[in-house]
Structure 1
Amino acid sequence: MKFSRKPSLVTIWSLSLMLFVFWGCGPANTNNEVEEEEEEEIISSDPSLELLWESAADLTTNESVHYEESNGMLYVANIEGGPDEKDGVGSISKLNTDGEILERDWVSGLNAPKGMAVKGDYLYVTDIDRLLEIELATGEINQTYEIEGAVFLNDAATDGEKVYFSDMRTHKIHYLEDGTIHTLAEDQNNINGLQVGNGKTLYGLDAEGLKQYDAEGGFQIINSEVTGGDGLIVLDENTFIASRWAGEIFLIQDGTATKILDTTEEESNTADIGYIPGENIVLVPTFFKDKVAAYKLTY
């Protein structure tokens, strides 16, 4: 008996059906998986802040926090009394990077301390109408600069040579250089947050938005969405973090602002923020909540 090698029509039809099922189902599942992975990547790449820790609520109306790279410490300015009252109850606290309060009253007897910046061996602190120079090693006030005409000194920043500081109510930016006070810019509406980026470029937050300044006090507006900002961090020349006191924090990239934190419903303020660059940690003084909150930044 001879067996023919020619496949029957039934066999051909069965094989075709199997190939169709394999081709129709297999690749479709793979594409779905790829699409899901891509969607997950898009979601995970959205900028965000994740709460890491909170200090004890013993930092009375803390307005600003500064991370000092030279010694790994956090310095927190506590207004404690009125924000424009010369009452002598303000203080500076010292914390470690886990949020533990090491010295609650590292410096005491101040009025309403706000912005802070470190240049060399000194911490510079704005205090209503004066700029204080405090020794990092001892906490002793080394020098006091009375600022003529000042009303409400706020944030501070340094490029390693000059110490810049803002006066929110006179709408001016001043700076200290070689023991002398100068004025860089005037008519900066409610100027508050200051920070220096790479190349010693000064940036500021006021009622018009985020500004970049030149050496003569001229400026250009980088972002006009985040108006009335408080704290400012410069990640690079195109990337910034800005806070609004009421409880909002924004990531500004290439001129576009994205809100990455909103604690307004909890009535937890976001005042003059600080930053630990090696760990991408944003430090938030919560003002009336009397504590510092630390968040991991992803962007």
Structure 2
Amino acid sequence: MKTTFIAIAFIVSHVTLFAQHSLEKLWQTDSVLTTPESVLPAADGKFLYVSNMGTQQENTGYISKVGLDGKIIQKEWVTGLNATKGLGLYSGQLYAAELTAVAVIDVKTGTILRRIPVEGAKMLNDITVDAKGAVYVSDSRANKIHKIENGTPAVYLEDMDNANGLLAVGPFLYVLTNGKLQKIDAKKNKTVIAEGLEGNTDGIVHVKDNEFIVSGWQGIIYYVKGDGSKQVLLDTREKKSNTADIWYNATTQTLYVPTFFRNSVAAYQLK
């Protein structure tokens, strides 16, 4: 009896310890965006950049500016982009993943400075930039990750099944592949942190040491720890509200979620 009680107490305490997180909705923008896919804060943290894929026609993608209160500051800040998805920011330049190229945008003027074509690209998706300014971009259909240094792209990793979400943290590159969260070290050694993630894994953000929030495009969001344990924070799949390439403000503990076909961005407080 005593052994059973101890076992039950351990299970309950473990579940309670991990199940402490939740999301409380703060606001949602008006549904005036056009297939928003990715969210990224400005360098000063005063507003958000939101990538919009646009319609099915070429070059209808654009980038919006959205306030931290959910109000649209400028719907079409940069236009003429092609299926805009992941965003990255470094030294006054915003990098935006298009279908087969990465657009480089001057954040002061909102002009496209140049495009960096990625040879053999099929569908570029997410972007992350490391502390040295190297740009990583995933190609979900080609199962590759490219690295751009000094404006020159090269294949960095291959055989990355449906590679999507990317996150550079120190010397590591975290990658979402088909239902998995992987950690890649500087020598390109791969470690699977968590698997069994549902909903077409899409976005990844860093909460604190070895703790992450991961989104599945179909409408599910997880809290994931470095030991592989995971908790569902949000599941909007039945409502057909997507959860695309998310962003997290660690200072305010706010999670920003593009809803894709719902044409809006929602903000949640992490509890």
Q: Structure 1 or 2: larger helix share?
A: 1
Q: What letter corresponds to residue 47 of structure 1 in structure 2?
A: H
Per the alignment, residue 3 of structure 2 pairs with none
Q: How does 1:268-287 map to 2 (within 5 A)?
A: 268-287=241-260
State whether structure 2 residue 48 is matched by structure 1 residue 74.
yes
Unaligned runs of 5+ in 1: 1-38
Unaligned runs of 5+ in 2: 1-12
Counterpart CA distance in 2 for 1:289 and 1:104 is 16
Tell whether the 8 Å contact from 1:73 to 1:96 is kept in structure 2 after alignment: yes
Q: How does 1:1-299 map to 2 (within 5 A)?
A: 42=16, 46-82=20-56, 87-160=58-131, 161-197=133-169, 199-226=170-197, 228-253=200-225, 254-298=227-271
Q: 1:220 to 1:43 in 2, by over 3 A?
A: closer
Q: What letter corresponds to residue 239 of structure 2 in structure 1?
A: E
* 1:69-99 residue CA offsets vs partner (Å, 9 max, x unmatched): 42422011111213xx6x1111100011111
Secondary structure, aligned partner of 1:114: coil
* 1:6-57 residue CA offsets vs partner (Å, 9 max, x unmatched): xxxxxxxxxxxxxxxxxxxxxxxxxxxxxxxxx9xx5996210000000111
Q: What letter corresponds to residue 39 of structure 2 in structure 1?
A: V
Counterpart CA distance in 1 for 2:171 and 2:219 is 29
Tell whether the 8 Å contact from 1:64 to 1:271 is kept in structure 2 after alignment: yes
Secondary structure, aligned partner of 1:113: coil
Instruction: Quote the sequence identity (%).
Output: 39
Counterpart CA distance in 1 for 2:30 and 2:18 is 31
Range with bigger deviation, 69-78 or 206-215: 69-78
Tell whether the 8 Å contact from 2:171 to 2:185 is kept in structure 1 after alignment: no
Per the alignment, residue 5 of structure 2 pairs with none
Computed over aligned residues only, the root mean square deviation of the Cα atoms, in angstroms, reads 1.8
Counterpart CA distance in 2 for 1:213 and 1:275 is 21
Counterpart CA distance in 2 for 1:53 and 1:240 is 22
Q: 1:256 to 1:106 in 2, by over 3 A?
A: same
Q: Structure 1 or 2: larger strand share?
A: 2
Aligned residues: 255
Compare CA radii of gyration and give the structure with the larger one: 1
Question: Structure 1 residue 236: deviation in Å?
Answer: 2.8
Counterpart CA distance in 2 for 1:237 and 1:148 is 35
Question: Structure 1 residue 200: deviation in Å?
Answer: 3.4
